[in-house]
Amino acid sequence: MSSLPVADFDSACSTCPELVALHSQIQNGWPSSIKALDVTLAPYYKIRNELATLSDYVLRGSRLIAPLSVRPKLIALAHESHQGIVRTKQRLRDLYWWPKMDSQVQSAITSCLLCQSNDKTAHTNPAPLQPVPLPDGPWKKLGLDIVGPFDTAIPACRYVITLTDYYSKWPELAFSPSATTDDVIQFLSSVFSRHGNPENIVTDNGTQFTSVMFTSFLQNRGISHSRTSVYYPAANGAIERFHRALRTCIQTAIQQSKPWKATVLDWLQVYRATPHATTSLTPYELLYGRKMRTKLDVLPLPPAVSPLDDVARHSVQKYQLKMQRYTDGRRHARKPSFLPGESVRIRKPHYVPKGHPRFTPPVTVTKAKGSNAFLLSDGKIWNATHLARCCPVTEKNAYTARLHHTQIGLPTARRLPRVKYKPRWHKDYIVP
């Protein structure tokens, strides 16, 4: 975008109805009441004593009052480097003024696509917590994930493949030197040979779980596959919480200089025999219907008497309600209200280097996938936690998206340079 020629500004001043009427009003004098003025001149009444004319120009003090037709152009020129609302206003105020200039500048910058991508005030709202209903029984719904790589581990233990039962919280894991689809399938085949096939498996969108080989493996066993929203591990929260405990165990093994594999296997037995915070029962009890004998047991174990499903279900509902209220209140969660066809920006979930925008260019909401997830025009399902609503970009302000392609100039104030004098103590020295 080129600078505004003086001839174009002069032409706009002489043809602008509002400016011509204002020029005439200043020359003829102001009425005693604002009610006698035309509606277009009413905003100038309070500052009438500051107004003056110079040729076809109208000035407020030393600042020009811009005609209607060039105001969008002036805002675009002042906003050429995308400095933000405050600095753009300051730049314009130095040379120009017109009624509602501040609000017009704010509206133009708010609808600038480039500024929206770097807006520090933009924020996303986490969606309310959605507790996962407890399955009807054990080993029906499982969560699958991979932890690692652990750089300090021996080659055979760089990755840990984990599996958790949503009902009993029973965990399974295996160390692996790599994390390919073949490794995952071998692990699942070993586990399924002991416990049978589940009805559903929940994973993230890792390449191991989106491959054709993995999909075919599940289909052959009659297992449905659910994938979480991209970059939203909390959707598979059951296994993520297990990972936290697993990492703590590994850190303890490192601090005590113990072998990882033996330490984790000992810890796994204790984990399975410890009452879970959600169910109030041990994973072993809910999966096998009896207690596990450990080093702590001295007396003979009592026989299994009654079904534990009612106890676990009541405890889970109570715990989930408590956590939902606490988490939603702490995160200020808000129910998402994005509609199909609406434009949103995606907050980049990974590390954003300095100088790069925190948000992606606008994408369109295609349809809702559940209460908190949405299918976007990029073909991915995103949780509402990563989405921010776009400010509408009007045709009037569409120029802001193209400013970075052009070199723009802005008229500068015509002031004499400041006279500089050398310090008095320099008179005793020869200063080059």
Q: Is the pLDDT of residue 82 over 80?
A: no
Please report the pLDDT score of residue 398 as a whole number. Answer: 45
**Quick one: average pLDDT of 26-49?**
82
**Quick one: average pLDDT of 71-79?**
82
Q: What are the residues whose beta carbons fall under 8 Å from the beta carbon of 151, sequence distance 6 or more?
A: 158
Question: What class does CATH assign to 6-116?
Answer: mainly alpha
Single-letter residue type at 337: S
**What b/e readout covers 273-283, taking b as 16+ CB neighbours within 10 angstroms?**
beebebbebbb
CA neighbor of 99 nearest in space, from 60, 62, 73: 60
Please report the pLDDT score of residue 140 as a whole number. Answer: 92
Please report the pLDDT score of residue 120 as a whole number. Answer: 58
Q: Which CATH number fits domain 141-288: 1.10.3720.10, 3.40.120.10, 3.30.499.10, 3.30.420.10?
A: 3.30.420.10
Q: Which one is predicted more confidently, 91 or 213?
A: 213
Q: Which one is predicted more confidently, 277 or 429?
A: 277
**Quick one: average pLDDT of 272-279?**
85
Residue 397: which pLDDT band, with cuts at 50, 70 and 90? Answer: very low
Q: Is the pLDDT of residue 336 over 60?
A: yes
Please report the pLDDT score of residue 333 as a whole number. Answer: 67
Q: What are the residues whose beta carbons fall under 8 Å from the beta carbon of 356, sequence distance 6 or more?
A: none
Tokens 């920006």 — which residue? 345
Long-range contacts of 121-125 (CB under 8 A, 24+ apart): 122/345, 122/358, 122/359, 122/388, 123/388, 124/347, 124/384, 124/385, 124/386, 124/387, 124/388, 125/332, 125/333, 125/334, 125/336, 125/384, 125/385
Residue pair 8/83 in contact (Cβ under 8 Å)? The answer is: no
Residue 409: other Cβ atoms inside 10 A:
11
> What is the share, in percent, of the chain residues with pLDDT greater than 90?
14
CA neighbor of 90 nearest in space, from 421, 423, 410, 424: 410
Pick from 33-37, 70-74, 175-179, 422-426 the range whose average pLDDT is largest. Answer: 175-179
Pick from 26-35, 105-114, 269-278, 390-399 the range whose average pLDDT is largest. Answer: 269-278
Q: Which one is predicted more confidently, 335 or 409?
A: 335
pLDDT tens per residue, range 278-332:
788 889 888 888 888 887 776 776 666 456 666 667 777 777 777 767 766 766 6
**Quick one: average pLDDT of 328-349?**
75
Q: Which one is predicted more confidently, 128 or 43?
A: 43
Residue pair 173/268 in contact (Cβ under 8 Å)? The answer is: yes
Q: Which one is predicted more confidently, 122 or 92?
A: 92
Q: What is the Cα–Cα distance from 233 to 373, expressed in whole angstroms?
A: 13
Q: What is the Cα–Cα distance from 18 to 67, expressed in whole angstroms?
A: 8
Question: Mean pLDDT of all residues in the chain?
Answer: 78
Residue 353: other Cβ atoms inside 10 A:
5
pLDDT tens per residue, range 43-73:
888 888 888 888 888 888 888 888 888 888 8
- DSSP state letters, 151-170: TTS-GGGSEEEEEEETTT--
Residue pair 214/185 in contact (Cβ under 8 Å)? The answer is: yes
Q: What is the Cα–Cα distance from 172 to 47, expressed in whole angstroms?
A: 77
Residue 155: which pLDDT band, with cuts at 50, 70 and 90? Answer: confident
Please report the pLDDT score of residue 127 as a whole number. Answer: 60
Q: Which one is predicted more confidently, 13 or 324?
A: 13
Residue 193: which pLDDT band, with cuts at 50, 70 and 90? Answer: very high
| Alpha helices, H only, 39-180 | 71-78, 85-93, 101-110, 113-117
> What is the share, in percent, of the chain residues with pLDDT greater than 70?
78
Residue 237: which pLDDT band, with cuts at 50, 70 and 90? Answer: low
Domain extent listing, the chain: 6-116, 141-288, 342-390
Supply angle C-alpha 395, 380, 230, rounded to 5.
Answer: 120
**Quick one: average pLDDT of 212-225?**
94
Q: Which one is predicted more confidently, 260 or 115?
A: 260
Q: Is the pLDDT of residue 391 over 80?
A: no
Q: Is the pLDDT of residue 403 over 50?
A: no
| Alpha helices, H only, 153-259 | 181-195, 207-210, 212-220, 237-255
